[in-house]
Amino acid sequence: MTYLRTIALLFFLLGLAACTAVGPPPVLSTSIPVPITSSPTPKPTVVPTATPLACLLERGALTRRVLDSTKPPQEFLIYLPPCYDQKPDESYPVLYLLHGQTYKDDQWVSLGAAVAADNLIHASQAPPFIIVFPDDRYWNLPPGPGFGDRLLNIVIPFVDQNYRTLTDRDHRALGGLSRGGGWTIHLALTRYDLFGTIGLHSPVIFDDDAVILQNLVRAVPANAWPRLWLDAGDHDGGLSNIRALEAMLTVYEVPHVWRMYTGDHSDSYWHAHIGEYIQWYADGFTVQAAPTSAASATPTP
């Protein structure tokens, strides 16, 4: 009896299992997040611009040099334009300015030559250029007559070898005031191959210079004349000789600019015109005008 009950219970359990619906195992739905992608917004193209050099707004540098190889030692001041050190691949025109008797190499600086150059360069009215102020303090001593030789054969070669200069004549100018103007006319006419522009500011012209200068003027080929400027004050003590020089230039049809202003033979006169002088020299470094006439300007006395 117990055996039958066990069999019956077994069949009951098997039937119950058969009646129970057993489905497939549940499928877990896993959602894998997909990143949202989009085309990035293009960034604007930035064109690099050159950073302006701060030195462009600075003053040029003045340095004193002494050449011990000469007897006596030859001194000069040199003005280097703004950014000279920051632009090692650039070369520059050179202006040589000679001072007057009893003065030294700083006369032109005191008159404002370096400041005038700075102003023109800052205003883009002139290319950057170098100025050399040679010293002629021995004018009344035995070494005095040798100044011209020291300038032409020692100072100029030294400057060209030790500074970044443009060495052709059109980028080299020579000017002088008073006794320096007298030196300038003699040196420029003797070595017209060296200078493309010359300036004579109240030049001291001695009576016995007439024949010498006439011979020098006649020896310069017509197509080799540098740009030439001549000026003086209407109360200059040497005005008669200066006007005689201007007349000679006109007779020989030498292209030149002639200016006679109100004033005398003094620092105040030259200071009043320093900006005009420096502009004249700077213009020669950019435009070398062909000689066209004996005098480009002749003021009324």
pTM (2 decimals)? Answer: 0.80
- pLDDT at 52 (0 to 100): 65
pLDDT at position 164 is 98
pLDDT at position 298: 43
What is the predicted pLDDT for the residue at 181? 97
Nearest to 61 by CA among 86, 84, 92: 84
- pLDDT for 22 equals 41
Closest Cα partner for 202 from 148, 173, 240?
240
Q: Give the tens place of pLDDT for each residue, 109-131.
A: 999 999 999 999 999 999 999 99
Strand partners, 97: 175
Q: What is the pLDDT at residue 182?
A: 96
With a cut of 70, list the residues of the chain below it in pLDDT: 1-52, 287-301
| Cα angle 197-130-144, degrees, rounded to a multiple of 5 | 70
Note the pLDDT of residue 70: 86
Which domains can be identified in the chain, with CATH numbers? 54-286 (3.40.50.1820)
Q: What pLDDT, on a 0 to 100 scale, did the predictor assign at position 6?
A: 44
State the pLDDT at residue 287: 59
